């Protein structure tokens, strides 16, 4: 029995070490450029120097109106290269759309991780807010899945008008613990993305969505985040939609359009 126990402890220790060492590879899935972006008077290539020395790359899709423009900054999922969103810019009437890839994604430099994502978010906002063609009193953040972590952190650190979150969570730690209850997640997880900590101090309006069939970020985690939110909030469950097909919901886009108009 003692030998069996020793073998079990050793095996369990190997599992913990494995998850600790390789967790970044299990959480982040950097993607190369997925599509060719045509540059014109409406779509501008953007390069931003982050405070950690990395160059961030993406696009600013301008609105049709002249003068300072309302701006929507999009933060994607953990396997999302954002060039695919450029054609969707026309859906946001009277709003410019800023799409910058995370460190390690597309042509952005660096390695993905909680701290590099947070640093990138601050650099993206500061770049946008200083532009003459952006109304820095009307900047809205939109975060999908892990992007909700960057968006809520940024809303805590900078002045924004409101947030739109898609498949959000209260923390990666909580999601990981629910999926891996046999591991001491709180001790070994380096990228916790403690969204609830920042949400509890953000008072701007929130529009949030979750798919009722989402098995990657189960609805419970989106609902828990909403409980921490201190500002006006609207949480919408999209029936039968999962994590990866949620953009196919017409209701989602209709609600976003109405929210931005308000």
CATH number for the domain that contains residue 17: 3.40.50.1820
pLDDT in tens, 206-261: 999 999 999 999 999 999 999 999 999 999 999 999 999 999 999 999 999 999 99
Q: What is the structure's pLDDT at 252? A: 97
**Are 198 and 155 within 8 A, CB to CB?**
yes
pLDDT in tens, 95-107: 999 999 999 999 9
Q: How far apart are CA 228 and CA 116, in angstroms?
A: 25
Q: What is the structure's pLDDT at 5? A: 66
Based on the structure, what is the number of domains in the chain?
Answer: 1
Owning domain of residue 94: 2-261
Going by the DSSP 8-state scheme, the letter that residue 118 receives in this structure is: H
Q: How much is the average pLDDT of 17-30? A: 86
Three-state SS sequence of 40-103: CCCEEEEEEECCCCCEEEEEEECCCCCCCEEEEEEECCCCCCHHHHHHHHHHCCCEEEEEECCC
């Amino acid at each position: 029995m003692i030998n069996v126990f020793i073998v079990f402890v050793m095996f369990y220790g190997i599992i913990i070490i494995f998850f600790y060492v390789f967790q970044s590879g299990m959480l982040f899935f950097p993607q190369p450029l997925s599509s060719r972006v045509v540059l014109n008077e409406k779509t501008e290539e953007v390069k931003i120097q982050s405070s950690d020395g990395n160059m961030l790359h993406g696009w600013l899709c301008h609105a049709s109106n002249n003068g300072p423009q309302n701006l929507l900054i999009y933060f994607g999922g953990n396997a999302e290269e954002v060039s695919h969103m450029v054609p969707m810019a026309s859906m946001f009437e009277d709003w410019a759309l800023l799409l910058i890839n995370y460190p390690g994604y597309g042509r952005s430099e660096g390695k993905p991780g909680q701290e590099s994502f947070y640093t990138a978010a601050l650099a993206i906002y500061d770049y946008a807010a200083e532009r003459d063609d952006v109304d820095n009193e009307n900047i809205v953040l939109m975060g999908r899945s892990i992007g909700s972590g960057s968006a809520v952190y940024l809303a805590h650190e900078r002045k924004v008008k409101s947030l739109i979150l898609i498949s959000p969570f209260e923390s990666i730690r909580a999601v990981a613990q629910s999926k891996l209850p046999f591991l001491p997640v709180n001790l070994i997880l380096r990228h916790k993305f403690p969204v609830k900590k920042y949400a509890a101090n953000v008072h701007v309006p929130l529009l949030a969505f979750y798919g009722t069939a989402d098995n990657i970020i189960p609805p419970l985690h989106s609902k828990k985040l909403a409980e921490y939110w201190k500002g006006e909030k609207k949480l919408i469950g999209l029936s039968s939609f999962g994590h990866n097909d949620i953009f196919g919901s017409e209701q989602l886009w209709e609600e976003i359009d109405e929210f931005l108009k308000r």
